[in-house]
Amino acid sequence: MTEQLNSDKELDLKGLPCPMPIVKVSKGIKDIEIGQVLKAVTTDPGSLNDFPAWARSSGNEILDTHQNGEEITFYIKRSA
Amino acid sequence: MDKQLQDKLLELFTGKLSRQVQLYLDTCSRCGVCSDTCHVYASMPIPKYTPAYRAEVVRRIFKKYFKAQGKLLPVLGEAKILDETALDELKEAAYSCTGCRRCMVYCPFGIDTQQIMSIAKLLLIGANSEPEILTMLADMSISKGESIEESKERFIEGLKRLETDVIDKWKIKAGKTPIPTDAQNADILYVALAGAHSIVPAAAIFNAAGENWSLSFFEAVNFGAFVGDPAKTKLISDRIVNEAKRLKVKEVSICECGTAFRVMKHLSGPQPFKVSSLTEVHARYLREGRIKLDQSKFDLPVTYHDPCQMARNAGVIDDPRFILQHLTDDFREMAPDPKYNWCCGGGGGLVALGEETLDFRMKSARVKADQVKKTGAKILATACENCHTQLSDLNDHYKMNVEVKFLSSMVADALVH
């Protein structure tokens, strides 16, 4: 089911250290409309905790997270 | 600016007016000694980048609203109205200052520009004019603290992927956990950053020293301090304080993050545990013979950049040099000496603002690049994440031809079995 998620914008954040993935996601999500979905791919292990915490504090919603080796993919719905 | 907002900002200003700060605001004689001491002005000689000018932006508002002369005869006191223009000037002043306090050690009166800039930062927060990225990062850290039980499992899962790397650096007895967490009565609670580079070398060294340690669930960095929000700074550091109290640890050791160390050491108030930097712990292990290092591991000349928040602002000056004596025969001290060392140009939240500040960070730290080049060193060691990022950017920009390394990673790589 998660593989079928469509996104309206993608961010390649691979190789960026903390806090840059969150910095770029918080800027990138403003480029889509409320209700649209942002796909972000990181390799920063800290993002597993950072992204949910950021989503909660910024009022956005993480629809799905999956890992493939070092790559972590988030699907984030802009809700605020 | 409407009166309601102005009143709110003046209330925030009043809250910052300790006797110490009032003395700083009353005292400047405009002697100009501080001008050349600021790396920004020394690299880009524009008057607005002198410490005295930055402080004057705040001082004129102080004169207008808190001094009799400014209230009655504002022209004479060069008093300034707190309005939108003033907010722009406060932002320019506060975010062109890294809070390194180099100006303070040269100032004949010891005026602490960093403390004056903390007023500017607080007023910007009150007017919702601070860099929103820094507030967002601070809010994220606080949110993580509020939901730690949800994220513990993910965190421990992530640590399992680092265990092999830790064991590669230092083998441990079968059955022992390479990266312990939640260990009651640990002698040390180590507070790292999110990346493997902050966890793996430190874990290997703790294991090599036979330490009874535990890794914190929280990252050390305090974005509340970068943005200058005292309430958020406290909430973020309280996450660690509460974990340390719950585990009844004897000591909290902060990773190579200068601001995180200074906040915990000097701003978190009296605590039932000792606070140390990772660098101090490593020096202690060497003194006590708990670890040994291969002095031939690095055969290139090495220099060391003192992170301002660790050296000038927290006194960790001798320990990194003691460690480096065990790592190289060719250590080259930068000039001027550590107390007067140039800031890397990345502090005060500038590195966390990323590409937005890159051009300014490069232009304003030319003197740092020159200072490094003069040593002829090929390895540039440091003990702060912000400094490491900024120095790496400077290395690319100014072709310094050095390898920027964390001191802890050098120690871990040179461990003798």
**Interface probe, candidates A11, A14, A16, A18, chain B, greatest B C-beta count within 10 A:** A18
HSE-CB for B323 with a 13 A CA cutoff: 27
**Domain check: are B250 and B377 in the same one?**
no
Nearest Cα to B205, choosing from B192, B217, B218? B192
DSSP A56: H
Contacts from B414-417 at CB under 8 Å and sequence distance 24+? Answer: B414/B293, B414/B294, B414/B295, B414/B297, B414/B298, B414/B326, B414/B327, B415/B169, B415/B170, B415/B204, B415/B205, B415/B208, B415/B291, B415/B292, B415/B293, B415/B294, B416/B291, B416/B292, B416/B293, B416/B294, B417/B170, B417/B171
**Domain check: are B225 and B338 in the same one?**
no
Q: In the predicted model, what is the mean pLDDT of residues A29-36?
A: 96
- Interface contacts (A, B; CB < 8 Å): 72
**Domain check: are B126 and B171 in the same one?**
no
**For B99-141, what is each residue's pLDDT tens digit?**
999 999 999 999 999 999 999 999 999 999 999 999 999 999 9
Kindly determine whether residue B136 and residue A20, on different chains, have CB atoms separated by under 8 Å.
Answer: no
Cα B247 from Cα B218, distance rounded (Å): 14
In a domain, B86, yes or no: yes
Kindly determine whether residue A53 and residue B137, on different chains, have CB atoms separated by under 8 Å.
Answer: no
pLDDT more than 70, % of chain B: 99
Please give the tally of structural domains in chain B: 3
Catalytic residue numbers of A read 18
pTM assigned to the model: 0.94
In a domain, B296, yes or no: no
**Domain check: are B86 and B177 in the same one?**
no
Which CATH number is A2-77 given? 3.30.110.40
What ipTM score was computed for the predicted complex, to two decimals? 0.87
User: Residue B109 is part of a domain; what is its CATH number?
Assistant: 1.10.1060
**For B23-55, what is each residue's pLDDT tens digit?**
999 999 989 999 999 999 999 999 999 999 999
Asked if B39 contacts B100 with a C-beta cutoff of 8 angstroms, the reply is yes
Q: Would you state the pLDDT for residue B141?
A: 94
- Which of B133, B140, B161 has the CB atom closest to A50's CB atom? B140
**Domain check: are B262 and B358 in the same one?**
no
Provide the residue type at B164 as one letter: T
In a domain, B295, yes or no: no
- Which of B140, B219, B352 has the CB atom closest to A57's CB atom? B140
**Domain check: are B62 and B124 in the same one?**
yes
Given CA atoms B175, B179, B182, B183 in this order, what sign does their dihedral have?
positive
Which of residues B119 and A45 earns the better pLDDT score? B119
Find tokens 């040994």 and name the residue.
Answer: B292
Kindly determine whether residue A49 and residue B194, on different chains, have CB atoms separated by under 8 Å.
Answer: yes
User: Residue B264 is part of a domain; what is its CATH number?
Assistant: 3.40.50
Cα B153 from Cα B102, distance rounded (Å): 43
Question: Containing domain of residue B255, as a range?
Answer: 133-287
End-of-domain residue from the set B95, B130, B165: B130
Asked if B16 contacts B122 with a C-beta cutoff of 8 angstroms, the reply is yes
* Interface membership of B210 toward A (CB under 8 Å): no
In a domain, B374, yes or no: yes
**Interface probe, candidates B132, B134, B135, B137, chain A, greatest A C-beta count within 10 A:** B137
